[in-house]
Amino acid sequence: MGLAHEAAERLEAFFRGFAGSTAPLLLLDYDGTLAPFRVDRFKAKPWAGVSELLNRIQGQTKTQMVFITGRPAAEILPLLGLDAPVEVWGLHGTERLYPDGSRELEPVPAAVRKVLDDLREQLNRDSFGGLFEDKDNAAVMHWRGVSAARAKQIEQRTRKLFEPLARLDGLVLLEFSAGLELRAGRDKGGAVEAILKEKGAIGPAAYLGDDFTDEAAFEALQGRGLSVLVRREWRETAADVWLRPPAELKKFLTQWLEACRMQGQSRLSSS
């Protein structure tokens, strides 16, 4: 009860901050945050009503909305189903896709690229019964949808392979729900830092995410915005508040819309 009350107060204070401010910044993870997980990730569509709310926020043209996903950036566009192009940071932040379609990729050092290439070759031959995903800057193993015993086996074999490599310069191990990623480059925390630096942390800012990989983003936003853990079950987190999807997520987006609408009105009435 205390927790829920505190969260409600925190949210209220956050949205009050929209009055008199400009260009609120809405940073959103995709999988698990806006869309429920699916074994086939190309079928992971947002919860009913979420795309509509995002479209309305975008249509207001007051919010700077940016998506930050672990996937290649372009993958989420057809799933999101938004009316206008948006900015997406992909591969946990090493890739940036602009609304005009241009794309930037953080360069991977040659030595690291060599390690990843060898790993690719090996996992393409044998992926331990898991799903191997080959990214520009990373090797990813997924075990969503398999039995618990099978998942444990895949995880053990993947760890044995990834963990020594993660000790090399320029490579880190990233744990996420039902998978492991060995990767190079900026993480979601680095992406949030870069976005705040570029867009200027002048107005209200929020980051919504569900996974361990979002914790770096929550930490990067500390003292500069509101971090929100979107998840059915609570877990230890650096986030300021916890929302259960989809109902509380939709309520948050509705409050965002309303706060932007009021923001316009207060500026009108004070001029």
Q: Output the smallest distance, CB 30 to Mg ion, in A.
A: 6
Q: Output the smallest distance, CB 117 to Mg ion, in A.
A: 27
DSSP codes of every residue in 186-218: --HHHHHHHHHHHH-TTS-EEEEE-SGGGHHHH
The residue of the chain with the least Cβ separation from Mg ion equals 32
Among 24, 32, 90, 185, binds Mg ion (CB under 5 A): 32
**Would you say how long the chain is, in residues?**
271
Interface stretch with Mg ion, choices 13-21, 28-36, 164-172, 257-265 (CB under 5 A): 28-36
29 part of the interface to Mg ion, by CB under 5 A? yes
Closer to Mg ion by Cβ: residue 181 or 210 = 210
Q: Output the smallest distance, CB 109 to Mg ion, in A.
A: 27
Identity of residue 269:
S
Q: Output the smallest distance, CB 28 to Mg ion, in A.
A: 10
Closer to Mg ion by Cβ: residue 95 or 115 = 95
Phi, psi of 103 (to 5 degrees): -140, 140
3-state secondary structure of 141: strand
Closer to Mg ion by Cβ: residue 31 or 215 = 31
x-or-dash pattern for Mg ion, window 187-216, by CB under 5 A?
-----------------------xx-----
Q: Are 131 and 138 in contact (CB under 8 A)?
A: no
Q: Are 217 and 182 in contact (CB under 8 A)?
A: no
- Two tokens at 17? 């901050």
What are the CA-CA distances from residue 120 to residues 69, 117, 126, 161 (Å)?
A: 22, 5, 10, 12
Q: Are 15 and 266 in contact (CB under 8 A)?
A: no
Q: H helices of 209-246, where?
A: 215-221
Q: Output the smallest distance, CB 82 to Mg ion, in A.
A: 18
75 part of the interface to Mg ion, by CB under 5 A? no
The residues that touch Mg ion, with contacts defined as CB under 5 A, are 29, 31-32, 210-211
